[in-house]
Structure 1
Amino acid sequence: MKEEYKKWYSPNLSTETELLIFGHSGHPVLLFPTSQGRYYEQKDFGIIEAAQHYIDAGIVKIYCPDSIDAWSWYNRSLHPADRAKNHYWYDKMLKEELFPMACQDTGMERVITAGCSFGGYHAANFAFKYPGLVSHLFSMSGTFDITSQTDGFYNGDIYYNNPVDFLPNDLDPELWNLNIILGTGEKDICRPFNERMSSILSQKGIQHWLDVRPNAVHDWPLWKTQFPDYLSRIQPL
């Protein structure tokens, strides 16, 4: 399996950022780490190994970006407005730097977004904000309400990065073209968040699959079974 490390200066983040890429061709997948996780987390915890068949077969090429959660949503030393502003710059990095890189590498026009736990939030937030750039969303045990990280403060930057708020009012027709899977477990602490998001999507008439695995909890063993299952649903190029 081809593995590539990249590091570059991000003009949006005003610092260097790091990335691991797995595979040689296929649909580009932006695979986000869990809360405050690093770009190598998905490799270390076995998600990449679980997906190796689809990587080796050229069905997907996986991009694992670094997070800046420790600077943004999880930085309790900053005012919530500044946490949201830092995430704004991360979002711009994804859209203006990582997205075009992945599309240029693979010759594709859209990406797949995926992630586990807080990575599921990042995957969903990007997909729902920019549905014209995304073909599939695979959120595993995601959470979709960022207000738990904002200490009661609320402004426009928080609204536009809080899917449970902006999605009900969003009429972008591309939302109805997304292939969406919300994965969770029967005993998952994030199951209620996924059921709430499923309800929002259903009310809008947006097709999706709420995948609740029996007896499963919020942990890597669940995600290592879900991720390759979801990749199997992608049409090969």
Structure 2
Amino acid sequence: MTENFYKWSSPNIGQEFEMLVFGHGGYPLLLFPTSMGRYYESKDRGLIDAIRWFIDEGIVSVYCPDSYDTSSWYNKHISPAERAYNHERYDKLLMEEIYPRMIAETGHQRIITAGCSFGGFHATSFAFRHPEIVSYLFSLSGIFDVRSRLDGYYDDQVYFSNPVDFMRDNQHEALWRMGIILGVADNDVTRSQNENMSGILAKKDITHWLDIRPESTHDWPSWCNMLPRYLSLIR
């Protein structure tokens, strides 16, 4: 399995940024780490091995960026407004620095986003904000409401980052063409958020699959079972 490490000075966040990439071709998959996770987390936790067949067969190339949570949603040392602003900087990094690399290296114009737990928030927020470049969204025990990280603060940047808010008014036509799976364990702390997001999508007649996994929990073994199944459905 091809593995490449990238490190560069990001103009959008004003510091060095790191990323691992696995694969030699196929659909570009942007795979986010969990809350405050690092770019190597999916490898260390066995998620890359779980989808190794898809990588080796050239079905997907997996891009694992670092998180920026310690500077945004999880940074209690700055104001909530600054947390939301820093997330916006991260979104620009993804769009302006990582997405161009993904399409240049794979030849695909549209990508897959995926992530576990808080990584599911990032995968969902990015996909729903930029549906014109995302063909599939696979959220694994994701959360979809970030307001608990903001001490009651709210502004336009929070609204446009928070899927449960902006999706109610989002009418981008590409949303109705996206393959969307909300995977969650039956005994999962995020189950209610997934059921709520499914309800929002259903009211808009956006086709999706709410996959509630029996006898499973909010943990890596569940996610290592989910993602290979979801990748097997891409066309």
Say whether residues 1:108 and 2:105 are aligned partners: no
**TM-score, length-scaled by structure 2:** 0.99
1:116-173 CA-partner distances (Å, limit 9, x unpaired): 0000000000000000010000000000001011010000110000000000101111
Query: Could you say which residue in structure 1 is the equivalent of 2:19?
Result: 19
Partner amino acid for 1:75? N
Task: Describe the superposition over 1:90-109 as per-residue Cα deviations: whole angstroms up to 9, x where unpaired.
Answer: 00000111011101100000
Q: What is the one-letter code of the residue matched to 1:220?
A: W
Supply the AA of the counterpart residue of 2:118: F
**Residue 3 of structure 1 pairs with residue 3 of structure 2:** yes
Any runs of at least 4 consecutive aligned residues in structure 1 with deviations exceeding 6 A, and if so which?
A: none
Which residue of structure 2 aligns with residue 150 of structure 1? 150
1:76-155 aligned at under 5 Å gives the runs: 76-155=76-155
Could you tell me how far apart the structure 2 residues matched to 1:134 and 1:11 are? 24
Equivalents in 2 of 1:66, 1:41: separation in Å?
9
Provide the C-alpha distance between the structure 2 equivalents of 1:131 and 1:59, rounded to a whole number of angstroms.
21
TM superposition shift of 1:78: 0.9
CA distance in 2, matches of 1:68, 1:127: 17
The aligned amino acid for 1:199 is: G
Find the aligned partners of 2:15 and 2:133 in 1 and give their Cα distance. 25
1:1-237 correspondence to structure 2 within 5 Å: 1-235=1-235
Q: CA deviation at 1:21?
A: 0.3
RMSD (Å), alpha carbons: 0.5
Aligned residue for 2:211, secondary structure, equals strand
User: Aligned partners of 2:105, 2:61: CA distance in 1, in Å?
Assistant: 9
Tell me the alpha carbon deviations over residues 186-225 of structure 1, each in whole angstroms, 9 at most, x when there is no partner: 0011000000000000000000000000021100000000
How far apart in 2 are the matches of 1:85 and 1:119? Answer: 18
For 2:5, give the aligned amino acid: Y
How many residue pairs were aligned? 235
**In structure 1, distance between residues paired with 2:182 and 2:76:** 29
Instruction: Please give the alpha-carbon distance, in whole angstroms, between the structure 2 residues aligned to 1:201 and 1:96.
Output: 28
Inter-partner Cα distance in structure 1 for 2:127 and 2:71: 22
SS in 1 for 2:174: helix
User: 1 CA distance for matches of 2:158 and 2:23?
Assistant: 35
Secondary structure in 1 matching 2:36: coil
- 1:171 & 1:231 partners in 2: Cα distance? 26
Supply the AA of the counterpart residue of 1:227.
L
Cα deviation digits, residues 14-55 of structure 1 (max 9, x gap): 111000000000000000000000000000000000000000
Return 5+ residue gaps in structure 2 as ranges: none
Structure 2 SS opposite 1:214 = strand
Please state how far the C-alpha of 1:77 moved relative to its aligned partner: 1.0
Amino acid at match of 1:27: Y
Q: Supply the AA of the counterpart residue of 2:154.
A: Y
